[in-house]
Structure 1
Amino acid sequence: MHSKNYTHIVVGAGSAGCVVAARIAERQDTNVLLLEAGPDYDNMTDESLLGVQDARKVPMKGQSEVFDLALDWNIDVTLPRGESMQVPQGKVVGGGSSINGGTALRNTVADAQEWVELGNNHWDFDSLYQVYQRLEDDRYRGTTGPHPIVRTSLAKAGNIQRAFVESAMMVGIPAVHDLNATGAEGVGPSPVCCSGHRRVSAANTFIDPIRNRHNFTILPNSQVDKILFSEIKAYAVLLGNGDVVHASSEVILCAGAVFSPAILQRSGIGSPLLLENHAIQLISNLPVGENLSDHPCIPVVARPKPLAYQDGDHSLQMQARWSSSQRPGAVDLQLVCFSYLFVPPSTAYGARGLAGTMTGHVVGIGCNVNKPTSTGLVTIRSTNVSDYPTVDPNYLHTDHDRKAAREVVRRAYCVMTTSAMQKVLEEPLALNESIVVDDAALDEWILSQLSSTYHFCGSCKMAARDQGGVVDQSGRVYGVQGLRVADASIIPTVPASNTMLTTMMFAERIGCSVRDAVDVGTEDRGSSRL
């Protein structure tokens, strides 16, 4: 039993929770507890720690030979046509930022416009811009915040990554060095959170410096079952082992877009019908678990030619972003070049991941639809904390999304089949010209290879309550007191970017709001735009 009294409990030590906990702990009269369902990397074996630290590969099942399933929720996600796949989600201090590719892209102007239209007038692009500026330590952009962002020069990139850039330019995608510049479209280096070959997670930046502070405690291997209420005031969390930990001020959920809604639903916050079906007493009627979004990914892959890939090359260095024909200015399509994905050949054919259905070492391009209009659901299966929720993103449900998927795959096929890429790769696997030019055949192929980018968000939407909101602009859950959500689940619509940095930006604003006891929108807006 962990009986110490706390002012604030932060649930989940991922990309959001690390930021929120660190910001609140800056206030000396707080006593902050950070709970994490997974282990703390301070206690890992050498092999597991190597995977977490090495930024050259992504230490997830289906992406690298070095991975640790103990650090991964490995959730089941529904695909179209009744299929499913297992999707990695970080279960470790640092969360996804400890095991992902580290891509640090900002959301776009168009994203912020959508969020404002949903009743979030304080989340306009100029306001968000200032938060990114103070978070990032980016020498190229001249920022001096805490979290390091670097880019690989073309001269130092691997052979496959250089060929990708050359090929993208050959098919008309312009070169751009700073993909985080406002409105930037083109091909160039991914901004990544690392230092040399070492991955830099949110835990490295925000938690390691405060581990020994008197007002901060981190408790790993502590899964949260639900929030406990006295009438409508949150006062404690119930852990999966039965322990109860009290918070005198607030509980802040940062368990992610899959597990934050599940905790809320088990706690009595959600759809009355869902809660009634599980004999859970309703505390607040909110659309928790609705509006789930993700970036669909369709991998176009091939085998590397001999010597094209060198062991020790970084897998992810270059990418391209541009606006689809349907949404000018949205920067809603993305090609990510990866030099290394490894799926054990013993895996049964039909298993699904970022390599599609292919096995062994493959190379290629992840084709991401970054502004899908399809949304899905997260719903608990039972009241048992060990029973993972149902996750159905409803991929490619709309005609808009299917058109976008065709457009991005056709562009990728053009890139893959140029002379520069064909010097380092074999022919694309299972994809050819006759499929690419035929809408019906391409749609079928896309569904056969469809995967996830692991960018779940939106399931506890920040919006006006009459527009389907679960939380207000400061992350407070409607209808209750002493409870906030501050992770990717509150992002109102899916951003046209990898979600990690946007998640940290939301967490930074809300963490500072809690620390300073002010509403989001009243903070000083500071410096000018670069």
Structure 2
Amino acid sequence: MRDETYTHIVVGAGSAGCVVAARVAENRNFRVLLIEAGSDCDPETCSPLAGVRDSRRVPMKGQSELFDPALDWNIDVSIPGGQSMQIPQAKVVGGGSSINGGTALRNTVADSEEWVRMGNDRWNFRSVYEVYQSLEDDSYRGTRGPHPIARASRDETGRIQRAFLDGALACGMPSVHDLNATGAEGAGPSPVCRRGQVRISAANTFIDPIRIQSNLTIMSNAQVDKVLFSGTKARGVLLTDERILHVSQEVVVCAGAIFSPAILQRSGVGPAPLLQDLQIDVLSDLPVGCNLSDHPCIPVVSRPKPGAYAQGDSSLEMQARWSSTRHPGAIDLQMVCFSYLFVPAAETQTGRSLAGTATGHVAGIGCNVNKPTSLGNVTIRSTDAIEYPVVNPAYLNTSHDREIAREVVRQAYRVITCPAMQDVLEEPLTLRESIVEDDAALDEWISSQLSSTYHFCGTCRMASRRESGVVDQSGRVYGVDGLRVADASVIPTVPASNTMWTTMMFAERIGCSIRDAIDVGTALRASL
């Protein structure tokens, strides 16, 4: 790599960082450096990494026998009762979009209304709708953006997925083919980022076509320790190997909702008491690392009956999305059908994964609470960048969240025990009708099986200062210059959807604003 000063350094080449770097590099007057702590997979020079291109499986620990541990940060996350579980977080160019299920669900109208109330008037639903439209290559919706979205037809799906759909409809849910239609509630195929059976990541869409572009440099296997400042102006980054990289205009942190706040805290941007305890000079006293949110997942799983699952079946194809009885119109509940989760008994450690406490091959329903009110935090333990931060999502910490969790689990129990699903699955593991009917017993069961959807967000919240904001509507960090955040950590409140697509939407808008040197919302991008 040339020894030079870049105009922009993008920290993290995940779902957000790939989009931001590509958009900023469209301005040929800029010199962009994209830094990734994990490995790269340039399609011209290396073979595909294990499992990352096959969309039929999710190549993460606890979900598939086929996964590469080198692509995973494998962080510890606190769960109720003083326990912890290990959670996959991608460590590879493309980030989560390279190893997750690829679900591309849009945020809801209610989500955008929440964001506007927090001081983000430029993130109203009409504005974000136009960005989704511009990004998606979706034949069903007639959009022609750069990123492909596909849905499984009934003929493509395996027996377990078809049984879930039949069961959901039998339990009174409407059939919906396009779950991204505004206000859509019901059961149907998940919109997934794939072409055929090939997973398409943010790196495939946004970085691979511009790898040879002269004003873009990709640096992989390089971990950022902190942002360096001259006064309150960001002037570069320090890597964990003590290299210093210089920037003339901006550092854009896109390391995700766990590692972005950790980088900012080590840089002197964060809660003053925390930084002072660690003897870090405070540049800007902000609630960095607060307001952590995630979608709690409560798995209801069973063993597949003989012949119910074939090796060529996709694990994730069908889901249901609807509003709780407490919040009509919020679309705050979700069931996702899993045909294949595999957890080796020797690797359960804490005994908790996306399959709950089950091991081996299981199938069933992931029950997601999509608008939790419980908020946690991310805090660094020390100034050592190699030491992972403390991550405490405070799952189901409010009576509201526990009530909503009971509602989604009860619906899933009705679906999984209906005749259609019982044709392909054994009885649910550990969950019985006597438990489902009793609030206290169900709360205890939920706590014993509780897991995560890996949808962390909110730790560098986009909001006004009085609403605990860390960044403004264009991702600029309050109190310093030349520093932005543009990943899931800026999402003001957790969306009622899988977070990857919302994250890429935020990255698109912020990346375009940097490229064009205008504030987000000044002008919508007309074409890509």
TM-score (norm 1): 0.98
Identical-pair percentage: 70
Letter in 1 for 2:130: Q
Tell me what 2:376 maps to.
Answer: 376
Letter in 2 for 1:361: H
Tell me what 1:77 maps to.
Answer: 77
| 1:108-132 deviations in Å (ceiling 9; x for gaps) | 0000000000000000000000000
Tell me what 1:18 maps to.
Answer: 18
Tell me what 2:487 maps to.
Answer: 487
Q: Distance in 1 between matches of 2:454 and 2:348?
A: 22
| 2:341 match: secondary structure | strand
1:317 CA displacement: 0.2
Tell me what 1:333 maps to.
Answer: 333
1:300 CA displacement: 0.2
1:349 CA displacement: 7.0
1:525 CA displacement: 6.6
Q: Distance in 2 between matches of 1:460 and 1:349?
A: 31
Compute the RMSD of aligned alpha carbons: 1.4
| 1:119 match: secondary structure | coil
1:205 CA displacement: 0.1
| 1:394 match: secondary structure | coil
Tell me what 2:516 maps to.
Answer: 516
| 1:452-484 deviations in Å (ceiling 9; x for gaps) | 000000000000011100000000000000000
Tell me what 2:365 maps to.
Answer: 365
Instruction: Report matched runs for 1:93-132 at 5 Å.
Output: 93-132=93-132
Q: Distance in 1 between matches of 2:45 and 2:384?
A: 30
Q: Distance in 1 between matches of 2:350 and 2:422?
A: 27
Letter in 1 for 2:514: V
1:41 CA displacement: 2.0
Q: Distance in 1 between matches of 2:324 and 2:304?
A: 29
Mean Cα deviation higher: 367-376 or 41-50 = 41-50
Instruction: Report matched runs for 1:13-92 at 5 Å.
Output: 13-42=13-42, 49-92=49-92
1:57 CA displacement: 0.3
Matched-pair contact (CA < 8 Å) for 2:43–2:208: no
Matched-pair contact (CA < 8 Å) for 1:127–1:525: no
Tell me what 2:455 maps to.
Answer: 455
Matched-pair contact (CA < 8 Å) for 1:48–1:68: no
| 1:81 match: secondary structure | coil
| 1:145-197 deviations in Å (ceiling 9; x for gaps) | 00000000112111100000000001111100000000000000000001111
Tell me what 2:291 maps to.
Answer: 291
Q: Distance in 1 between matches of 2:121 and 2:166?
A: 41
Tell me what 2:502 maps to.
Answer: 502
Q: Distance in 2 between matches of 1:304 and 1:514?
A: 50
Q: Distance in 1 between matches of 2:44 and 2:344?
A: 24
Distance change in 2, residues 1:159/1:298 (3 Å): same
Matched-pair contact (CA < 8 Å) for 1:235–1:247: yes
Letter in 2 for 1:404: I
1:378 CA displacement: 0.3
* 1:153 partnered with 2:153: yes
| 2:319 match: secondary structure | strand
Q: Distance in 1 between matches of 2:198 and 2:463?
A: 37
| 1:241-276 deviations in Å (ceiling 9; x for gaps) | 000001101000000000000000000001111001
| 2:42 match: secondary structure | helix
Q: How many positions carry a matched residue from both structures?
A: 527
Matched-pair contact (CA < 8 Å) for 1:2–1:245: no
| 1:470-510 deviations in Å (ceiling 9; x for gaps) | 00000000000000000000000000000000000000000
Q: Distance in 2 between matches of 1:9 and 1:328?
A: 43
Q: Distance in 2 between matches of 1:43 and 1:121?
A: 40
Tell me what 1:311 maps to.
Answer: 311
| 1:345-380 deviations in Å (ceiling 9; x for gaps) | 333575211000100000000000000000000000
What are structure 1's unaligned runs of at least 5 residues?
none
What are structure 2's unaligned runs of at least 5 residues?
none
